[in-house]
Amino acid sequence: MDDRILHYTKEADEVWHAGDIGDLKVTDAIEEITPLRAVYGNIDNDKIRATFPLHQRFTCEGVSVWITHIGGYPPKYNMNTRDEIKSNPPKLFICGHSHILKVIPDKKNGLLHMNPGAAGKHGFHKTRTMLRFTIDQGKIENLEVIELGKK
């Protein structure tokens, strides 16, 4: 955990983590500052998997949100998420796994897909990134890519 991540955490009403936490010290540091919603990722151990679910589905300010680690992206959704997206699409679908920052509107399913990339110092990504945005009265606004520098 580095101070730049914690700086942005202090500015957030809530932090949403899309998995590959690595160590509960990461989520503990975030939760000391602001509320956290997180899912476990494929690198996470049994302790992290016992603490966080595979999926988080909830509503925030009138926006239905689904966070999961391995979800794919439009139109190439993972086979474990594809049917649910077709039958019960969220307005905002957030996943991680690829470590590649993507924001893609899915007009066919009426949702916005976000992958924040990776903020950590481990993995194959070259630049550490996160996303910041606001949700207000059913609208997702003020989307900002935050680059945390090279890993």
148 φ, ψ to 5°? -100, 5
The whole model's pTM is what? 0.93
Give the pLDDT mean for 99-116: 95
The residue type at 119: A
In this predicted structure, the answer to whether residue 151 has a pLDDT above a threshold of 80 is no
What pLDDT sits at residue 1?
67
Measured distance CA(130)–CA(140) in Å, rounded: 16
Of 6-10, 30-34, 52-56, 59-63, which gets the smallest average pLDDT?
6-10
- With cut-offs at 50, 70 and 90, classify the pLDDT of residue 105: very high
Measured distance CA(91)–CA(138) in Å, rounded: 9
Dihedral sign from CA coordinates of 62, 68, 74, 78: negative
Q: Is 114 exposed, middle or buried (0-12, 13-18, 19+ CB in 10 A)?
A: buried
What pLDDT sits at residue 92?
98
